[in-house]
A = this chain, B = another copy of it.
Amino acid sequence: MLGNFSYCNPTKLYFGEDSLSNLREELPKYGKNVMLVYGGGSIKRSGIYDQVVKLLDEGGKNIFEDPGVMPNPTVEKLYEGCRIARENQVDLILAVGGGSVCDYAKAVSVSAHCEEDPWEKYYLRMEDVDNRIIPVGCVLTMVGTGSEMNGGAVITNHKTKLKIGHVFGENVFPKFSILNPAFTFTLPRYQMIAGFYDIMSHILEQYFSGEDDNTSDYIMEGLLKSLIHSARIAAEHPTDYEARSNIMWIATWALNTLVAKGKTTDWMVHMIGQSIGAYTDATHGMTLSAVSMAYYRFIMPYGLAKFRRFAVNVWDVNPEGQSDEAVAEEGLVRMERYMRELGLVMDIRELGVTEEMLDGIAAGTFAMDGGYRAPDHDEIVEILKASMA
């Protein structure tokens, strides 16, 4: 059953090979001072940086650069971004990059004019935004997080080993996002497939919860089947535009708040993965893949009917003459085989996790209770141990 909810997603998307040129329509809506946020040098090597700067110049904008956003944006970087935005009276933050860059841009947008410490107010205390928000636009160069059409913004504090995501309201969503599948072609294979699994994990975290009959579960099965099909093609042929365009679109809809509306969700794989990220700075999608099989085998007995449905509807397992447990397990076997075929990390030791870290990672894992079974501290340690296989 669909519970009560409200839904609004005002982000304007421009999708396709020529979509960057739509900056010409969007830029005039904002003031002259644009903060250009990006990560390392990849957008300079690919030429995207030059194209963006040219359009900003043509639009008569003053550009204030804020490069060096790291894969897991830190609280120190956030403070630096806030200073740049404030000192230059920035009117628009333009994020050019993947989910980390978009997340960081949104964190700066709510924090720049915050009179308290934004880490404390918006992350530790998770308060609502009550100060001025600087509008954000995104040019996406990597898919996975869905950050281009939602209010999520994850920030990491290495000192306290906390990686926290605040999901802000629709007034913080990007005003526009430019999605050109061809911009994702040059991503290194490791980051590409990590992004694919990030998408899959977003869908699974919202799927494996609840026992009702809910349209969102049917939509998610469709998204999963399309993702499994297209990711297999893209892993072999990274410049297959059809596959990459489908994946880019799935990523957006997997985490733009649609499929979670009116239903319960789990999110424990992300919580454990984020805690691993705080300890190891590992690539986000790989922290998810490495713990998923152990986590899903842990919760399967508590949500057997859904795992059986997953096996039949997503992995085409023939249920005839088999017990529910056997059907459900066969679904996970096929999922694991597929993950290994893609080349995902399936052992947390490969990410730098050691036995000594397990207790701390479990302690840093935020407990969510929407799934089939919320694991306690010791159970998280067991799941982590089972992820060292």
**Chain B proximity of A203: nearest CB distance (Å):** 12
Query: A3: CB under 8 A from chain B?
Result: yes
Which residues 161-204 of A have a CB within 8 angstroms of B?
181
Query: A160: CB under 8 A from chain B?
Result: no
CB-based nearest B residue for A224? B218
How many protomers of this protein does the assembly include?
2
> Chain A 18-38, CB within 8 Å of chain B: the 1/0 string?
110010000000000000000
Neighbouring B residues of A218 by C-beta, 8 Å: 222-223, 225-226
Query: A65: CB under 8 A from chain B?
Result: no
Q: How far is the CA of A9 from the CA of B252 in the complex (A)?
A: 14
Neighbouring B residues of A253 by C-beta, 8 Å: 219, 258
Query: A16: CB under 8 A from chain B?
Result: yes
Query: A242: CB under 8 A from chain B?
Result: yes
Most buried by B among A3, A4, A222: A222
Contact stretch, chosen from A207-215, A280-288, A291-299 = A207-215
Which residues 30-71 of A have a CB within 8 angstroms of B?
none
B230 lies within 8 A of A2 (CB): no
A246 lies within 8 A of B214 (CB): yes
Neighbouring B residues of A215 by C-beta, 8 Å: 222-223, 226, 230, 246, 249-250
Query: A11: CB under 8 A from chain B?
Result: yes
B17 lies within 8 A of A7 (CB): no
Query: A334: CB under 8 A from chain B?
Result: no
Query: A13: CB under 8 A from chain B?
Result: yes
Whether A6 contacts B13 in the complex (CB less than 8 A), given A213-B229, A242-B212, A246-B215, comes out as: yes
Which residues 258-303 of A have a CB within 8 angstroms of B?
258, 261-262
Query: A220: CB under 8 A from chain B?
Result: yes
Query: A8: CB under 8 A from chain B?
Result: yes
**Chain B proximity of A55: nearest CB distance (Å):** 17
**Which of B16, B221, B242 touches A213 (beta carbons < 8 Å)?**
B242
CB-based nearest B residue for A18? B4
B222 lies within 8 A of A15 (CB): no
CB-based nearest B residue for A19? B4
**Which of B1, B10, B14, B241 touches A242 (beta carbons < 8 Å)?**
B1
Most buried by B among A19, A219, A223: A219
Residues in chain A within 8 A of chain B (CB atoms): 1-19, 22, 181, 212-215, 217-223, 225-226, 229-230, 241-243, 245-246, 248-250, 253, 258, 261-262
